[in-house]
Structure 1
Amino acid sequence: MVFPFRLPEVVYLGKGAVENLSQEVKKCNATRVLLITDPGVQKAGLDKQVIEAIEKGGAQVEVFAEVEAEPSTDTVDRVGQLVRENGYQLLVGLGGGSPMDVTKGASVLATNGGSIKDYVGIELIPQRGIPAILIPTTSGTGSEVTQNAIFAFKEEQVKKGIVSRYLLPKVAIVDPVLTLSCPPHITAATGVDALVHAVESFTALKATPHTDIYALEAIRLISANLRTAVSNGSDLEAREKMAMGSFFAGVSLANAGVGAVHALAYPLGGKFHVSHGVSNALLFAPVIEFNCISNLAKFARVAEAMGEPVAGKSLREAAMLAAKAVRELVADVGIPKSLRDVGVSESDIEFLTLSAEKQTRLLTNNPRLMTRQDIRNIYRKAL
């Protein structure tokens, strides 16, 4: 099959990229702008430079800085209503995946109405939203270049995804300087999240020659630089390479999709409120071990891109090194090692299994068919 390949209209990537914000605001002819961010970004003072740039672009800017970690559908609906009532013409999302996803959701709610719950699934949003510019302050989610937005459904204690070409922002601005203040634990979790995006999209059933190029380079960049970025956050070279790796992984994710790691992580985040990056990290190696036999050649390339010595080894031996490399990286950057470390017990396995089984959009893209018992076994292995 031939799959579409999409990117934002404009992408600025590299040191100083945020300096292009003013001209993009001008191009949108916007006079009223809403900046959407979170308390952590505001506390770090990263919003000040962005506000100045928006004002320099000739617009009046107001700020919504109440986005929580793992945002709920209630938050998105609230911001969407705020945008409709106040007539904002442009949205700027600043932060990690949470503010950027809320920005994307509010953008389409502004023109389509209703609740974000109405659009869960694939291509269910009727029309384009108001323009959005996304600026990440972490190197991880890739939300600035994806057609996806993930929100917590409190009643069901699970996270669900919305996928639509209308969620792609008009402009993505990726400036590694904005990630310098990102704390080590967030750098670690978001960095592993980006690596999951790269590995899952590289081995996904919807992978293409286009996405493979981005995914492999993302795996190389993240594997070589995440430890340094966590250990020494002021290392701008490591930060820049992580920003590039996250962006490339986001491009691959946006066009090839992800698989079982995400499917099993969503209920973990929904019920136990574990961050998305940590949820993915806890399930990463066990899922790779399960998936390896589905495509030994590709998983061997993953291991090689992560720096494992694959020369002289059989294809199967080389492929299995991918899981080893992931375990070592996750341990080195200080992420919890087991589900028990985040409060999960044996009695929770059945709830998690039945919830993950419903993530058919992701499981059908996984390189190996996964049964209910397979899911159950992976959770137990990760305990």
Structure 2
Amino acid sequence: MSERSYDFLMPSVNFFGPGVITKVGSRAKMLGMKKPVIVTERFLEQLKDGPVEQTINSLKAAGVDYVIYNGVEPNPKIHNIKEVKKLYENSGADSIITVGGGSSHDTGKGAGIILTNGADITKLAGIETLDKPLPPLIAVNTTAGTGSELTRHAVITNEETHLKFVVVSWRNIPLVSFNDPTLMLDVPKSVTAATGMDAFVQSVEPYVSVDRNPITDSQCIEAIKLIETSLRQAVANGHNLEARTKMVEAEMLAGMAFNNANLGYVHAMAHQLGGQYDAPHGVCCALLLPYVEKYNIIACPERFAELAEIMGENTTGLSTRDAAMLSIKAMKQLSEDVGIPKTIKEIGAKPEDFELMAENALKDGNAFSNPRKGTKKDIIKIFQAAYNGDI
């Protein structure tokens, strides 16, 4: 694995730690931003002294004008990115600042894509399909989960087909990211759990990916350890700043890891669940994780045995296979501890949809790096197991 060549992508500048939100304005000015569109959710804009207000204060202090789009939705849709594009053009904006979690960042990326690479984003789905750079993009992150503020992935939902698709390109990577854990202290428990499990999945999938490398391995290992020791605490007490800080560190490491080692069937299948039933992405990932990885064990059992040890399981005296199965148990336990539902049936999944969802999962940009190569029949069986809770 270490003998092959590989590249490593991440934003050129990443600000991390309590209080870094105050640097947004000066960095925007340094990048030559005159009038960015702030892309965010309405509830974040309305929070007193919240992340949007603090971003605006920083921009004002630097003498940078702005305009706000507050229509971001969970699982952002094509109409969201078109609305941002229209506002951008009508307001004379010259750049984009996303404030929020993955939905805000993906909306901003999607808008940037259609501003410079063509109006029909569905034709750009896939890997490295973008010929032109996006407008200057800064990402202010408010959840410890998706890693979208660091990555080349833009995940959009086609509201007509209910299908999610991914545009993966180095051009999508924000120029600057901000991760200030103080912005996350009031994030609800359910969002903390869902986004935290997304970060966890994004630590596990790159570790077993066919595209892994020694750098991403080290990031995955540290991210998993941080999540194991801090996610439960962050869910139990959202104002535990130490736990919040560790979760931010973990999601950044996971974001860097999967930005380079890619993901697998968990995300490929989760995109179908989220698109079809408009369910939270992190919940979809958490629900599918143990079932997909149990399926994957035969491809690299030693990696899963290592995962069990990384997650704190005692593997002394166990065979590689038995140790590997302990990792599946630990994944499921973490999910249950933070309040994730037990089956995909609980989020509205219907067996009659599994065939189409399986077909589209295998076409998803994340499927190619899964360690075990499956068929549509295999994917349907995994959906069925996650529906019945058969681990």
TM-score interval w.r.t. the shorter chain? over 0.9
Retained in 2: the 8 A contact 1:288–1:322? Answer: no
Give the distance between the partners of 1:347 and 1:91, measured in 2 at CA: 41
What's the counterpart of residue 378 of structure 1?
A: 382
Retained in 2: the 8 A contact 1:77–1:116? Answer: no
Of 202, 215, 232 in structure 2, the residue corresponding to residue 210 of structure 1 is 215
Q: Which has the higher mean CA deviation after the structures are superposed, 307-316 or 233-242?
A: 307-316
Of 284, 287, 291 in structure 1, the residue corresponding to residue 289 of structure 2 is 284
Displacement of 1:3 in angstroms is 2.4
Matches within 5 A, 1:30-179: 30-45=33-48, 46=50, 47-179=52-184
1:274 corresponds to 2:279: yes
Runs (4+) off by over 3 Å: none
Give the distance between the partners of 1:118 and 1:203, measured in 2 at CA: 30
Displacement of 1:295 in angstroms is 1.1
Encode CA deviations 1:340-381: one digit per residue, 9 max, x unaligned: 11122333322322332332x322210011111211111111
Displacement of 1:213 in angstroms is 1.2
Matches within 5 A, 1:216-365: 216-359=221-364, 361-365=365-369
Encode CA deviations 1:255-300: one digit per residue, 9 max, x unaligned: 1110000111111111111111111111010011111121122112
Give the distance between the partners of 1:57 and 1:312, measured in 2 at CA: 61
Displacement of 1:173 in angstroms is 0.6
Q: Which has the higher mean CA deviation after the structures are superposed, 366-375 or 15-24?
A: 15-24
Give the residue type in structure 2 aligned to 1:296: P
What's the counterpart of residue 7 of structure 1?
A: 10
Partner SS for 2:369:
coil
Encode CA deviations 1:2-46: one digit per residue, 9 max, x unaligned: 221111010111122212212201202222121110023223332
Encode CA deviations 1:318-337: one digit per residue, 9 max, x unaligned: 11111101111111111111
Q: Which has the higher mean CA deviation after the structures are superposed, 42-51 or 256-265?
A: 42-51
Give the distance between the partners of 1:313 and 1:20, measured in 2 at CA: 51
Give the distance between the partners of 2:44 and 2:314, measured in 1 at CA: 40
Give the distance between the partners of 1:190 and 1:11, measured in 2 at CA: 20
Number of residue pairs the alignment of both structures matches: 382
Q: TM-score, normalised by structure 1?
A: 0.97
Give the distance between the partners of 2:352 and 2:122, measured in 1 at CA: 29
Give the distance between the partners of 2:63 and 2:95, measured in 1 at CA: 12
Of 21, 24, 28 in structure 2, the residue corresponding to residue 25 of structure 1 is 28
Give the residue type in structure 1 aligned to 2:39: I
Give the residue type in structure 2 aligned to 1:372: K
Retained in 1: the 8 A contact 2:47–2:53? Answer: no
What's the counterpart of residue 201 of structure 1?
A: 206
Retained in 1: the 8 A contact 2:67–2:91? Answer: no
Partner SS for 1:145:
coil
Give the distance between the partners of 1:244 and 1:355, measured in 2 at CA: 33
Give the distance between the partners of 1:12 and 1:357, measured in 2 at CA: 36
Retained in 2: the 8 A contact 1:80–1:105? Answer: no
Encode CA deviations 1:190-213: one digit per residue, 9 max, x unaligned: 000011111001110111111111
Partner SS for 1:94:
strand
What's the counterpart of residue 189 of structure 2?
A: 184
Encode CA deviations 1:291-318: one digit per residue, 9 max, x unaligned: 1121122112211221211233222111
Q: Which has the higher mean CA deviation after the structures are superposed, 86-95 or 327-336?
A: 86-95
Q: RMSD between aligned alpha carbons?
A: 1.3
Partner SS for 1:364:
helix
Give the distance between the partners of 1:80 and 1:321, measured in 2 at CA: 48
Give the distance between the partners of 2:115 and 2:350, measured in 1 at CA: 41
Q: Which has the higher mean CA deviation after the structures are superposed, 361-370 or 176-185?
A: 361-370
Encode CA deviations 1:195-240: one digit per residue, 9 max, x unaligned: 1111001110111111111111111111211111011000000000
Q: Which ranges in structure 1 are unaligned for 5 or more consecutive residues?
A: none
Partner SS for 1:221:
helix
Encode CA deviations 1:73-128: one digit per residue, 9 max, x unaligned: 12112212322332212211000100111111222333334232232111111111
Give the residue type in structure 1 aligned to 2:40: T
Give the residue type in structure 1 aligned to 2:11: P
